[in-house]
Amino acid sequence: MKQKWATKLAASFLGLMLVMAGCATPEEEAETSSASSQTQESSVSQESENEETGLPAALTVGVLKGPTGLGALQVMEEAEDDDNLQIDVYTSSDEMVSALSSGSVDAACLPTNLAANLYQKTKGGVKIACVNTLGILSVVTNGETVNSIADLKGKTVVSSGQGGVPEFAFNYILEQNGLEAGKDVTVTYLSEHSEVAQQLMAGDATIAVLPEPFVTQVTTKQPDCQVALDLTEEWDKVADGSVLSMGCLVVSSDYLEDETNKDAFDKFLSLYQKSVDFVNANPKEAGQLSQTYSIMEAAVTEKAIPRCNIVYIAGKEMKEGLTPFWNVLYESNPASIGGALPDDSFYYEAE
């Protein structure tokens, strides 16, 4: 099934980028009937434990560094004791899509608009399982005075996330305030959020659009860096009630064709939801896990989590929340979500 999925996605990967188990040890023969009985009891106990805490089939999930990675921290720790669950960390959406195209991962955390693009490009090759991150963008300055969107006119803004929600959301906010990216505001895109953060802290950039937890990172390490505008608030002012939904989890449609795989994914979603709740309720402990799994430094993570908008929104609530968001992106730039509004088949609902 992975091969079928990989072939389908690999065929569309180039076009998309242009727009934007170990072996079991043989059982040893028991020397006495007592030892044999103990071995059987241990086996039954272990089997019961696996049914209670493990996945019934192999599942590989990719997460991105940043808020989507933070949401998975607890389940990443649990995956170390589950041979059927593997969670890999990627630094960019491009790497994640490449992993999907090769079949290296069965499910992945992605920007929401990229998920919609994949759905269109692969003709239903992925389904969206949950929204995991809401608005986390801010305009951060170093030595510049910015009190409103209007103050960005004639300025150069450094950003990341080109081809993703950061670009389309920022462009939409500019448009609704009478400004045009590339004309009234120069926007320079770098490949990674960390690059933007480094330039801002060094003073090589004076205005930047950054997501959490990088906003917390730069304002903590460089006192001259200040949050000038919360772009979630700016979005809410102009976006007709739609919610700025930035991150989500998608799963391969081919993977779900096997009922055992579907059961495994449903079990993972349950673990993932608990992980999101744990991270939001325990920022200090989550910070330590974040550093362990190379997502972000512990101290920065602990401070950033309350502003990261890490959520778990699935099923009917997810669909109702995303529909007006798709409409805003489509009206602003149809290509941002693959040229068409997602239909009902895009949405996955666990049983």
Say yes or no: 54 and 198 in one domain: no
Give me the torsion for CA of 324, 317, 236, 331, rounded to 10°: -10
3-state secondary structure of 282: coil
The answer to the question of residue 49 being in a domain is yes
Model pLDDT, residue 53: 55
39 pLDDT band, cuts 50/70/90, is very low
1 pLDDT band, cuts 50/70/90, is very low
Q: Is the pLDDT of residue 122 over 60?
A: yes
Say yes or no: 108 and 13 in one domain: yes
The answer to the question of residue 322 being in a domain is yes
Sheet arrangement for strand 85-90: 85-90, 59-64, 107-111, 245-252, 126-134, 310-314
142, two tokens: 């170093």
* Backbone φ and ψ of 124, nearest 5°: 90, 20
Give the span between the Cα atoms of 36 and 18, in whole angstroms: 62
Residue 278, domain extent: 2-20+30-134+244-346
Residue 203 is part of a domain; what is its CATH number?
3.40.190.10
Residue 217, C-beta contacts closer than 8 angstroms, at least 6 positions apart: 197, 296, 297, 300, 304
Say yes or no: 129 and 174 in one domain: no
Question: Which of 179, 211, 238 is the last residue before a domain boundary?
Answer: 238
Total of domains in the chain: 2
Q: Count of residues for the chain?
A: 351
Give the span between the Cα atoms of 251 and 207, in whole angstroms: 36
* 8 Å CB contact between 291 and 277: no
- Residue predicted with more confidence, 100 or 205: 205
Say yes or no: 43 and 79 in one domain: yes
Say yes or no: 124 and 146 in one domain: no
Question: Which of 209, 238, 267 is the last residue before a domain boundary?
Answer: 238
The answer to the question of residue 25 being in a domain is no
Say yes or no: 210 and 266 in one domain: no
The answer to the question of residue 52 being in a domain is yes
DSSP-H helix ranges across the chain: 2-19, 33-53, 67-71, 73-79, 93-102, 112-121, 165-176, 193-202, 214-221, 231-238, 253-256, 259-281, 283-292, 298-304, 315-332
Give the span between the Cα atoms of 57 and 324, in whole angstroms: 36
Average pLDDT on 179-188 reads 96
The answer to the question of residue 255 being in a domain is yes
Say yes or no: 220 and 187 in one domain: yes
pTM of the model: 0.80
Q: Is the pLDDT of residue 30 over 80?
A: no
For the chain, the average pLDDT equals 85
Question: Which of 238, 255, 282 is the last residue before a domain boundary?
Answer: 238
Say yes or no: 75 and 183 in one domain: no
Say yes or no: 170 and 302 in one domain: no
CA–chain centroid gap for 344, Å, is: 21
Of 326, 324, 310, 320, residue with least CA distance to 249 = 310
CA–chain centroid gap for 314, Å, is: 14
The answer to the question of residue 203 being in a domain is yes
Say yes or no: 213 and 83 in one domain: no
The answer to the question of residue 259 being in a domain is yes
Evaluate the CA torsion angle 88, 90, 96, 101 in order and state its sign: negative
The answer to the question of residue 167 being in a domain is yes
Which CA distances in Å does 226 have to 135, 156, 186, 229, 300? 18, 17, 20, 9, 16
Say yes or no: 156 and 94 in one domain: no
Average pLDDT on 91-116 reads 89
Say yes or no: 9 and 114 in one domain: yes
Least confident of 7-11, 18-22, 58-62, 98-102: 18-22
Of 223, 64, 77, residue with least CA distance to 136 = 64
